[in-house]
Amino acid sequence: MSTESSDTKWTPMTSRSQTTAPRCVNCGHQVTRQFARVFGDNRDVVHACPECSTYREMKTSDYIPEEVR
């Protein structure tokens, strides 16, 4: 155990923009990795989320542009 004092404070998340969680390409809403794996394209890129689309639209993948399918 160290007896030296440290003046620096530990801040686990100083800003929300530092996370690596996936975001919706359409609206920018943060989604989970599992959501991206299920509803994203082949590269786990989410083109629509529950904030900007319905689950019916997400299941049919009609919202994904042809060139990235």
Q: Sketch the domain layout of the chain as residue ranges.
A: 20-63
Which residues are CB-neighbours of 49 under 8 A, at least 6 positions away? 24, 26, 27, 29, 31, 35, 39, 58
Q: Residue 30 and residue 22: Cα distance in Å, rounded?
A: 6
In angstroms, rounded to a whole number, what is the distance separating the alpha carbons of residues 18 and 6? Answer: 24
Backbone torsions φ then ψ of 49, nearest 5 degrees: -135, 175
**Nearest alpha-carbon partner for 31 in 39, 20, 22, 40:** 22
- 10 pLDDT above the threshold of 70: no
pLDDT of residue 16 exceeding 60: no
pTM recorded for the entire structure: 0.59
pLDDT computed for residue 24 by the predictor: 92
* Tens of pLDDT, residues 19-65: 688 999 989 999 999 999 988 888 888 888 999 888 888 777 666 66
Contact 44, 21 (CB under 8 A): no
